[in-house]
Amino acid sequence: MQTRKFIIKLLAFGLLNLGIMAVLLAGFSGRTRDIHLNNWDTESNLLMMGRNTHYDVAILGTSRGRVFSRDANHRMLEEILGKKVINLSKGGGGGLMPAELHLSYFFDQGNTVDHVVYLVDPDVFFCSINNENNNFFLCDEPFELSMLWKLIVRRYPADRIFSYLQMIARDDWENFTRYSAPGLTEGTLDVIDPEKLEEARAHYLSQYTDENFKKYSRIVDTINALVKKNNTRITYVMLPLLIDHFPGVEQVDRKLNDVAREEHVNYCNLVESMQDRKYYYDHMHFNKAGIAYFAGAYLDPILRGKIVKFDNRTGDSVGLVTSRAKAKSQQAN
């Protein structure tokens, strides 16, 4: 009997403390909601994300997607596409789990979008450093209680959660979240270095596990369900890669081809396109010329309901096929 009373008191004490903590955290939550930065002025998603706002396009991806907004490239992108764009890509290798987290938060704020475009890097399907063990995808985001709850529910590691709690003490958000290396996309890669490409290929391969691929591939299904729930559609675009035989391309290609059979999902593999150094400022990231070319030659037709076909020898687009015809062709094969 005494033991039962002790357990009840212990539980009551624990619940009381949890309640006090929740009230305190709620007081810190949302202190930056009056700050509204432009997509090209900040690396933060929460500080530029609207509420109850409609966008034509939402972009997901890593830093290879984020460059589409850096250095005022965002305004150029919107001009080329003729559409209102929100870029939710996260620099520092933000992968599938961070993408799902930010897209979920985006919809929770009452926002809507016609078309989600995920600019895919194969490594995000294999590496924990791009997913739950990524150190960067929340380091420039203000504290929101609902975001904290998402981290807990999705079982992010304790150190990710504690590092996010440290954002409570942060201020001067406009300067703190500004990109630290402006002007990079103005440059051009001097030469494609085969030795560096091979070193990069070996580096990625060393981090890969088949178990991780199975684990993170399921996040694609979660993202697709989230998109469907919010009455929109998604296109996965495998970005061009200068690295030959990039590890994991075949597995990711099979996965995305498979999910593209869903009515609201499309997929386009552009891994062999844009092989000229003039489109890059380093061996992975587009420069301004590359962003402009990609937007006009590929992204624009994709958003108009087309799937791009290209010449494997030159990387040039050679024709377009409608998304539904693409799906029927896959089923026939």
DSSP of 158-179: HHHHHHHHGGGG---HHHHTS-
Residue 127's alpha-carbon distances to 111, 134, 211, 238, 246, in angstroms, are: 30, 9, 10, 17, 14
Domains and CATH numbers, the chain: 33-131+181-332 (3.40.50.1110)
DSSP string, 261-309: TSTTEEEEE-TTS---GGGBSSSSSB-HHHHHHHIIIIIHHHHTTEEEE
Provide the pLDDT for residue 316.
55
Distance CA 69, CA 89 (A): 9
Closest among 103, 140, 134, 135 to 118, alpha carbons compared: 103
> Which three-class secondary structure state does DSSP give residue 209?
coil
Maximal CA-CA distance, the chain: 80
Residue 42's alpha-carbon distances to 10, 164, 173, 175, in angstroms, are: 46, 18, 9, 8
> Which three-class secondary structure state does DSSP give residue 135?
coil
Per-residue pLDDT of the chain (333 residues; tens, 9 = 90+): 666 664 555 555 455 455 545 555 555 566 677 888 999 999 999 999 989 999 999 999 999 999 999 999 999 999 999 999 999 999 988 999 999 999 999 999 999 999 999 999 999 999 999 999 998 899 999 999 999 999 999 999 999 999 999 988 788 888 889 998 999 999 999 999 999 999 998 988 888 989 999 999 999 999 999 999 999 999 999 999 999 889 999 999 999 999 999 999 999 999 999 999 999 999 999 999 999 999 999 999 999 987 766 554 555 555 555 444 444 444 444
Closest among 51, 47, 49, 73 to 175, alpha carbons compared: 47
Distance CA 177, CA 314 (A): 39
Distance CA 40, CA 57 (A): 15
Residue 133 bridge partners (DSSP)? none
> What residue type is assigned to position 245 of the chain?
H
Provide the pLDDT for residue 36.
87
Q: Which helix (H) or strand (E) holds 251?
A: helix 249-259
> Which three-class secondary structure state does DSSP give residue 134?
coil
